[in-house]
Amino acid sequence: MSIEIQKDENQLLISFEYSKLRVEKVRKIKNRKWDARNKVWKVPYSLANIKKVREVFLGEKVKFNFEIFLEDEIIIEKFIDYLELKGYSKETVDVYLSHIKQFNNFSVKSIKEIEEEDIKKYLLYLLKERELSHSFVNQAVSAIKIMVIKVLKRSDIIINLPRPKKEKKLPNVLSEKEVMRILKSLSNQKHKTILYLVYSAGLRVGEVVKLKCEDIDSDRMLIRVRQGKGRKDRYTTLSHFALEEIRDYYKLYSPKKWLFPGAKLNTHLTKRTVQRVFKRACSKAKIKKKVSIHDLRHSFATHLLERGTDLRYIQELLGHKSSKTTEVYTHVSKKSISKIESPLDKI
């Protein structure tokens, strides 16, 4: 039996089939009272208490027998509208929206009622209890800042809003031999072509799935990347070997609009599908490193640097806004490190 919630004037009436666990849960709600005559629990009606009821009975079916007008939902809709009007990509909108919903579920207050301490408490919860990365928490801060400043029009909270120091992590890089093992492990021509393009052109997974047939310029040996990260168009290199794979792929699949069409009509392949393809390929190639498909892009940049390509050209091919982003590959390149002789070899 589900937990049923009714509204009677300024009271929430909570009824459910008796269980010791449910009684323990409802006792977590402040100012609750047991009405023995009507056999219901009474809680003062408020947005915070509606959220608290949802929180304590999380995982159970809760049925509200009245129309709930949640101001938070209107604020969240305005938040989405703001991001879309500012031209944020769908991926960024989805990520920021997820952060706001997680924060809203954590807080027992309405979004309009939050204070600086509520945000700090949430950020500490993410860092200490959930042990999430500083990058994740910084992303949460960015989403909350937009909501507070642009949607709620409040400036008092942001003045002292903490932002965790960003962790400096080096990218995972596959050796050239490991890359070839991965590529050779594939027998499906479509999957093979996708991974050839990701590595040979340094594409993001979101970019390779959105390629259109017209984006492959075989005359100039270039690939046009439309609206990559930061909503920027750019060109990157088209490998001769990748072009051969594309031509073999065309003979088998004859794509029309999208180079890699999805299962549904007029859609492209999903990122999740490509990620699964890469994971299976790594398994077949017996790759022991913990890597993702994005690490093919890191490997592309590192291998170019090791072969003497100027860092400025690599920056352009990758579509990095700042040269500092590209400079990280100097720390994982074996180009200069391999020249240093270990003191052990001198002994």
Per annotation, catalytic residue among 78, 134, 154, 229: 229
Q: How distant is the alpha carbon of residue 152 from its chain centre? A: 25
Check if 120 is active-site: no
Per annotation, catalytic residue among 191, 268, 297, 298: 297
Sort residue 254 into left (φ over 0), alpha (ψ -120 to 50) or beta.
left
* 3-state per-residue secondary structure call for 44-82: ECCHHHHHHHHHHCCCCCEEECCCCCCHHHHHHHHHHHH
Check if 329 is active-site: yes
Cα separation, 307 vs 15, whole angstroms: 70
Check if 99 is active-site: no
Check if 294 is active-site: yes
Cα separation, 90 vs 96, whole angstroms: 10
Looking at beta carbons, which pairs linking 78-84 to residues 24 or more positions away fall under 8 Å? Answer: 78/151, 79/146, 79/147, 79/151, 82/146, 82/150, 82/151, 83/146
- Phi, psi of 149, rounded to the nearest 5 degrees: -80, -50
Cα separation, 67 vs 88, whole angstroms: 33
Per annotation, catalytic residue among 51, 268, 298, 320: 320
Check if 204 is active-site: yes
Contact 192, 183 (CB under 8 A): yes
Tokens representing 116 are 């600086």
Sheet of 62-64, strands arranged across: 33-35, 40-44, 11-15, 3-8, 62-64
Query: Taking Cα atoms as reference points, which of 71, 59, 149, 66 lies closest to residue 104?
Result: 71
Longest CA–CA span in the chain (Å) reads: 89
Per annotation, catalytic residue among 109, 279, 294, 335: 294
Cα separation, 118 vs 110, whole angstroms: 11
Per annotation, catalytic residue among 51, 192, 204, 234: 204
The residues assigned a catalytic role are 204, 229, 294, 297, 320, 329
